[in-house]
Amino acid sequence: MSTTERRRPVRPYGGISAEQRVAERRERLVEAGLEEFGTRGVRSTGVKDVCGRAGLTDRYFYESFEDSSELFTAVFDRATAHLFEVAVGALSEASATAEAQARAVIEAYVRALADDPRVARVVFVEAPSAGPEVELHMRTTLRRFAQLVVLSARPYLPADMPDEVLRFGAMALVGAIERLMIEWQDGELALSIEQIIDYLVGMLLAARSIAHAANAGPASKRPARK
Please state whether the predicted TM-score (pTM) of the whole model is above 0.85: no
Task: Report the C-alpha gap between 105 and 112 in whole angstroms.
Answer: 11
pLDDT for 89: 94
The 3-class secondary structure across 59-78, one letter per residue, is: HHHCCCCCCHHHHHHHHHHH
User: For every one of its 226 residues, what pLDDT tens digit does the chain have, with 9 covering 90 and above?
Assistant: 444 445 555 555 555 788 899 999 999 999 999 999 999 999 999 999 999 999 999 999 999 999 999 999 999 999 999 999 999 999 889 888 888 888 999 999 999 999 999 999 999 999 888 888 888 999 999 999 888 888 887 887 777 777 788 888 888 889 999 999 999 999 999 999 999 999 998 888 887 666 556 555 554 455 555 4
Residue type, 164: E
Buried (b) or exposed (e) across 107-146, using 16+ Cβ within 10 A?
bbbbebbbeebbbbbbbbbbbeebbeebeebbeebbeebb
SS3 12: coil
Q: Strand pairing partners for 13? A: 16
pLDDT for 120: 93
pLDDT for 4: 42
Contacts 24+ apart (CB under 8 A), 96-101: 96/155, 97/156, 98/153, 98/156, 98/205, 98/208, 99/201, 99/205, 101/152, 101/153, 101/156
Task: Report the C-alpha gap between 58 and 52 in whole angstroms.
Answer: 9
Which letter does DSSP use for residue 220 in this model?
G
**Which tens digits make up the pLDDT trace of 63-119?**
999 999 999 999 999 999 999 999 999 988 988 888 888 899 999 999 999 999 999
All domains of the chain in start order, with CATH? 3-61 (1.10.10), 68-216 (1.10.357.10)
Q: How many CB atoms lie within 10 A of CB 63?
A: 18
The length of the chain in residues reads 226
